[in-house]
Amino acid sequence: MPHQGRESQGQEAGAAGHDHALNPVRLRRDADIAIRMIDPTQNALIARRLGEAPLGLFGTRSYIERRGRPRTVADLVEHDVLGFDRSDALLRAYAAHGLRAAREDFPVRCDDQMVYWNLMLAGAGLGFAQVLLAGAQPGLEQAEIGLRLARLPVWLVLHEEVRGNARIRRVADCLAEALAARLRGG
């Protein structure tokens, strides 16, 4: 959420933001505040659910001009859809819509979210992404094909030990307010 970070920049002396990609199963403390798209299950965390982030199917303008715009779920077989390598999340999503797919059906596969995102931005294929993020990219277009996709839960997470730190609490409250408003469409 780079826009929220810029808006609150300088409001709290000594508060620094980082854009580290965190492994969701990591147990050690890497940040005072984190935004997570999975339900937090670790002990010693304070979590606030902010809303849900809808997902969509996106491609670059150049990919769509080159390969055509898919109009239906059935059209996906004629397209390069970016997939996951070890994760079966996409295979399960396809199966939930009555589609048969195997890993080999996805010409480019990776499990790293930043690599996946950059492959999509480079026009390597159609990709699934958060509507708020992908919709803000000028070179990406959403392909509306009637596919009902899950929504990701969005959590603001703090470590229990920083609960009493007023500065961190104010930054967390500012982030929570701004992000919740964006998720509601504001």
The tens digit of pLDDT for each residue in 22-79 reads: 444 443 556 789 999 888 888 888 899 999 999 999 999 999 999 999 999 889 989 9
Q: What is the pTM of this model?
A: 0.77
Cα–Cα distance for residue pair 186/179, rounded to 1 Å: 9
Domain spans, the chain: 56-142
Average pLDDT value over all residues in the chain: 84
Specify the DSSP class assigned to residue 77.
Answer: G
Total residue count of the chain as it appears in this document: 186
Q: Confidence band (pLDDT; 50, 70, 90) for 134?
A: very high
CB within 8 Å of 65: residues ≥ 6 apart: none
Specify the DSSP class assigned to residue 94.
Answer: H
Which helix (H) or strand (E) segment is 151 a member of?
A: strand 151-159
CB of 101 closer than 8 Å to CB of 57: no
* Architecture, CATH, for domain 56-142: 3-Layer(aba) Sandwich (3.40)
CA 128 to chain centre: 9
The tens digit of pLDDT for each residue in 86-125 reads: 988 889 888 888 888 899 999 999 999 999 999 999 999 9
